[in-house]
Amino acid sequence: MIERWIRRWDANGVGQFIVELDGTLIGRVGFLVWDAGTWETSTYDLAGAHAETELGWAILSPYWGRGYATEAAAAAREWIDRERIVSLIHPANVRSQRVAEKLGARIEKKVEMPAGPADVWVHP
Ligand SMILES: CC(C)(COP(=O)(O)OP(=O)(O)OC[C@H]1O[C@@H](n2cnc3c(N)ncnc32)[C@H](O)[C@@H]1OP(=O)(O)O)[C@@H](O)C(=O)NCCC(=O)NCCS
């Protein structure tokens, strides 16, 4: 997985960060590039005008509910220099929706991805 992340950093100049709490790895946050024509992961070069940059988050469950996903995602969003950032969230994932709301994102549309339905949240 880490090798794949490194390849994506090399291809896109953006990618996943790990989230640490006092030196302990508690999750990941960062960016994936999608081809919005197929909703498969891609690169800026291959996807061209169809490229979407997704900010995503995952925290290990013992650390849920303490604001870490929101804090880490806000830091990643500060870091990146892109006009349009989206988050793709399953309509039943209420925790993740709450993170998106706290970040000021709004649902733009619903899409069907290979793995199932997702709401496209657009960041301010
Ligand atoms: C989604 C996830 C990253 C949230 O991480 P987290 O560090 O707990 O997030 P935060 O603490 O910043 O915020 C979680 C919010 O969800 C709320 N929440 C938790 N359980 C909830 C529930 N059952 N219903 C509604 N809201 C809920 C919390 O109260 C909190 O909101 P608040 O600050 O207004 O109280 C974490 O649950 C996770 O890793 N899930 C598995 C991976 C995943 O789904 N990633 C996202 C894919 S789109």
Domains of the chain: 2-122 (3.40.630.30)
For the chain, 124 residues long, give each residue's pLDDT as a single digit of tens.
Answer: 889 999 999 999 999 999 999 999 999 999 999 999 999 999 999 999 999 999 999 999 999 999 999 999 999 999 999 999 999 999 999 999 999 999 999 999 999 999 999 999 999 9
Distance from the alpha carbon of residue 81 to the mean position of ligand 1, in angstroms: 26
Nearest CA to ligand 1 atom 43: 58
Distance from the alpha carbon of residue 65 to the mean position of ligand 1, in angstroms: 6
On whether the CB atoms of residues 35 and 47 are closer than 8 A, the answer is: yes
- H or E element that contains 79: helix 68-79
Of 23, 110, 17, which is closest to residue 56 (Cα–Cα)? 17
Distance from the alpha carbon of residue 94 to the mean position of ligand 1, in angstroms: 7
Q: Which atom of ligand 1 is nearest to the CA of 95?
A: 16
Tokens of 92: 């039943």
**What distance in Å separates the CA atoms of residue 93 and residue 118, rounded to the nearest whole number?**
10
